[in-house]
Structure 1
Amino acid sequence: MTNNDTLSHSRMAAKIEQIDRICARARIMPVITIAREEDILPLADALAAGGLTVLEVTLRSRYGLAAIRLLRELRPELCVGAGTVLDRRMLAAAVEAGAQFIVTPGSTAELLQAGLESDIPMLPGTGSASDIMLGYGLGYRRFKLFPAEICGGAAALKAFGGPFADVRFCPTGGVSPDNLQRYMAQPNVMCVGGTWMLDSQWIKDGDWAQVERASAEALRLLG
């Protein structure tokens, strides 16, 4: 192994440790798409009051990067990552905004390579064994299973545990209070991502107490 290989392996090992710490803290990671700028702080505060302090802010809306910047500045106690990162350009913009981790819905060779070069950890999306192997060959051992329910849910995670014994997942997409415990019971699941505590009507109405209540209730299901 060359010095460069050793350095690359060491950097990836450090990033895996970072992802593990983030996911252990999260347990449930709300996947947030901001529709109105004025919702950013009260929504984050409601989630945090309910116990959810690791937030995946997606770049699906024009407020995504602004939300990451604002939360990093005014809510430094939260851990804020960028989701729906699709390419190298979006990854660079998320890092510039202050994202503490990156989440992608899928994997491409370009994006996986960009993640290797980045100083912050990335949780690449996967929906198949082939995607896992693409990332695995580059050193990735932590993935987002997306969309989890469509990809086979807990049964798929159990099957992946055979050939990929050292890989762990954050299943997202179709996770709800009804199946939350089933997902978390899988030994290769480190946390889950979800949106059920982010009901669009609650947010439209500014019903932050309901967001807080749903967040706290979800965590109670995990004991």
Structure 2
Amino acid sequence: MSSLPLPLSGVVKGPALLPIIQADTPAQAVDIAKALSAGGIGSVEVVLRTKEALAGIAAVRNALPDLLVGAGTILSAADAIAAKAAGAQFLVSPASTPKLLEAMIDCGLPFAPGVATPSEIAMAFEYGLTEVKFFPAHLSGGIEMLRALSSIFQQVRFCPTGGIGQHNLADFLALPNVFVAGGTWLTPAALVKAGHWQQISELAAQATAIATKLKAAA
């Protein structure tokens, strides 16, 4: 394995938010990214859940060079390599296995591996990783679980994703062991399908205000 890459927190731009982009076409990915950027978002995660996801990463990088663009749903070494080739600036996985952790480390990009249990966190920590994605956050114990984990894994910080929305964003970001919050609540499928970009920008602006206030007070 190569040396550990820069932690994800070292590259995330803007507020402590990492909204997910799931697009059917590169043009749609760009539209979503522009709407989020207009609302103050500085970093996005394009998930590899559609056939055009890799092309979407390249298109967003080209259209918004100041936006930090990463790839999510990394499940294999092949995914990591393809995402990097497409222009992804960081990687996020929904789960962790030794092979997947090693592949993402070898890729050289900042990344956050997915964890849901203490054993998975301990495995990531054994690899020298201190920043992980807590997924699915709500179903895995949410805020109370993160509080419990904070006393055990005192050096580990989390990017909770799954079940986060405007209603509980402040509660998650107020936790000292949370460095960024991710999810799809800023890009609802219905708004994306209808092309309601202004509404997505408004949601992003509301979340940006919450995140900015919470982290400024930290």
TM range (shorter): over 0.9
1:72 to 57, 61, 70: 61
The 5 A counterparts of 1:131-210 are 131-210=120-199
Query: Which blocks of at least 5 consecutive residues in structure 2 are unaligned?
Result: 214-218
Q: CA deviation at 1:114?
A: 0.9
Provide the rounded CA distance (Å) in 1 between the counterparts of 2:86 and 2:13: 24
Provide the rounded CA distance (Å) in 2 between the counterparts of 1:192 and 1:199: 16
The 5 A counterparts of 1:1-223 are 11-12=3-4, 15-16=6-7, 19-23=8-12, 25-222=14-211, 223=213
Q: CA deviation at 1:74?
A: 2.4
Amino acid aligned to 1:34? A
Amino acid aligned to 1:15? L
Q: CA deviation at 1:26?
A: 4.1
**Conserved 8 A contact 1:107-1:126:** yes
User: Cα distance 1:170–1:24, how it changes in 2: closer, same or farther (>3 A)?
Assistant: farther
**What TM-score results when the alignment is normalised by the length of structure 2?**
0.93
Identical residues among aligned pairs (%): 37
User: Cα distance 1:24–1:80, how it changes in 2: closer, same or farther (>3 A)?
Assistant: closer
1:153-206 CA distance string (max 9 Å, x none): 011111111111010000000001111111011100001002111122211121
Amino acid aligned to 2:6? K
Q: CA deviation at 1:20?
A: 1.4
Provide the rounded CA distance (Å) in 2 between the counterparts of 1:197 and 1:203: 10
**What TM-score results when the alignment is normalised by the length of structure 1?**
0.91
Q: CA deviation at 1:25?
A: 3.1
Q: CA deviation at 1:116?
A: 1.8
Provide the rounded CA distance (Å) in 1 between the counterparts of 2:205 and 2:129: 32
**Conserved 8 A contact 1:169-1:191:** yes
User: Cα distance 1:35–1:215, how it changes in 2: closer, same or farther (>3 A)?
Assistant: same
Q: Runs ≥4 in structure 1, deviation > 4 angstroms?
A: none
Provide the rounded CA distance (Å) in 1 between the counterparts of 2:105 and 2:27: 35
Provide the rounded CA distance (Å) in 2 between the counterparts of 1:69 and 1:107: 26
Provide the rounded CA distance (Å) in 2 between the counterparts of 1:110 and 1:87: 8
Q: CA deviation at 1:21?
A: 2.4
Provide the rounded CA distance (Å) in 1 between the counterparts of 2:164 and 2:129: 23
1:22-59 CA distance string (max 9 Å, x none): 34634111111112333122211110000112000000
Q: Secondary structure at the match of 1:150?
A: coil
Amino acid aligned to 1:214? L
Deviates more, 1:58-67 or 1:112-121: 112-121
RMSD over equivalenced CA pairs, Å: 1.5
Amino acid aligned to 1:151? S
Question: Bigger radius of gyration, 1 or 2?
Answer: 1
Amino acid aligned to 2:68? C
Query: Which blocks of at least 5 consecutive residues in structure 1 are unaligned?
Result: none
Provide the rounded CA distance (Å) in 2 between the counterparts of 1:168 and 1:23: 14
Provide the rounded CA distance (Å) in 2 between the counterparts of 1:35 and 1:112: 28
